[in-house]
Amino acid sequence: MTSRRRFLLATTAAAAGMAACSRPEEKPDDAHPSASTPPSTSSTEPAPPPSPEEIARQRVPADLRARIASLMHVGVRNADDARAKLAEGVGGLFVASWADPRLLYEPGRDLAALRHEAGHRFATSIDFEGGRVQRHQQVLGSFPSARELAATGDTDLVRDTGYTIGLSLRRHGVTVDFAPVLDIDVAALDVIGDRSFSPDPTVVGRFGAAFAEGLNSAGVAPVYKHFPGHGRASGDTHYTQAITPPLEELYSLDLPPFATALARRPAAVMMGHMVVPGLGADGLPSTLDGIAYQLLRTGDYPGGRKFSGLVYTDDLSGMRAISDIFSLPDAVTTAIEAGADQALWSSGAQVAEAIDAVQHAVESGRIPERRIDEAAHRLQLQLYWAGV
């Protein structure tokens, strides 16, 4: 770990040195008023610049269907597939493990080119945690797992690793990283394992926040996952329904990492597909349950605080905890109705059908239009902070 740390710190220092060499252009002397210039006699004060909130609000599409489409965050196979999805107006492109890696680097067909071509702003995302979940590492690099990082006990190293990952992602056009994992590892679940920093919720929260801070410093939006905690669930939601301990038991172990991380480094959150006894409707996965989103938004758990950031669903197409019980358009509609701001599905299938379903739900009165408006505004605010 000592040599790895030296490498990471050297990489970070090199990046910082490059940034330091880029100075803002100096204004010529005549850009400043001379001493002989008479003072302005106008009594009109200049209008204050708009706040980020106001700018984001101005960017929200006026058209209802365009607003709804911006809530769709979908997987793409290649540049042509991405262009087709962007033509539908989606708000995010997800680069899955099976996507053409040239999306990350080929001029004219990469994410940067797509952003230049598109007629609207959109996010670009990937799963890149380090360890066994780091997609397209042949392009983006290879990094230690969360467990390996935590074993060093070095918060600065964790932050630096997040920063170095973030630099690589942003250099290749990615603006959102679905990381870090804030689940605790106490049940020997293969799906979590070394993706978790620790069995100790305090350690998970502290290192998760540090990793997120590093990503954010590099211009990449971090996403904490999987709320309200997958670490003690009964199985893997990729393959089956997964049930957590009752809600009152999550208060002591599974939820504290989210409280700690959100207090230290605010970020977006991914809602998991777990069924939580005592939380909302029996048997309903958290991604589709309005009570789960209410828990996150109100911070009504030990150490929690009110949360107004962006909330993603976990994958609605590639995980049987959802696909076994809902069609994709129904899952997307139900998730947005429940409180999701970005409906994520890796297959990228049925985009038009999903938009149609949500639009029908709004026009029929099932989903209030203000639900669409607030979600679209949160996306635009994230894009603003990412410089998109």
Q: Which residues form the catalytic set?
A: 238, 314
CB–CB of 373/60 below 8 Å? Answer: yes
Local structure of residue 181 (DSSP, 8 states): B
Residue 64: count of CB within 10 angstroms of its CB:
15
Beta partners for residue 271, in sequence order: 227, 313
Which of 380, 387, 359 shows the shortest CA–CA distance to 59? 380
How far is Cα 177 from Cα 57, in angstroms, rounded to an integer?
24
* Tokens 């991604």 belong to residue: 287
| CA 224 – CA 180 distance, rounded (Å) | 5
Tell me the C-alpha distance between 42 and 289, whole Å: 56
Strand-pairing partners, residue 151, are none
Question: Which tokens in the block code for residue 81?
Answer: 């597939």
Amino acid at 268: A
The residues that bridge with 126 in the sheet, in sequence order, are: 177
- SS3 breakdown of the chain: % helix, strand, coil, rounded to 5? 45, 10, 45
The whole-angstrom separation of Cα 294 and Cα 304 is 12
Q: How many C-beta atoms surround the C-beta of residue 199 within 10 A?
A: 13
> What is the SS3 assignment for 126?
strand
Angle at 136 between CA 80 and CA 322, to 5 degrees: 75
Residue 197, phi-psi category: left (phi > 0), alpha (psi -120 to 50), beta (remainder): alpha
Residues 6+ apart with CB under 8 A from 10: none
| Cα separation, 64 vs 339, whole angstroms | 18
Rounded Cα–Cα distance for residues 356 and 375 (Å): 17
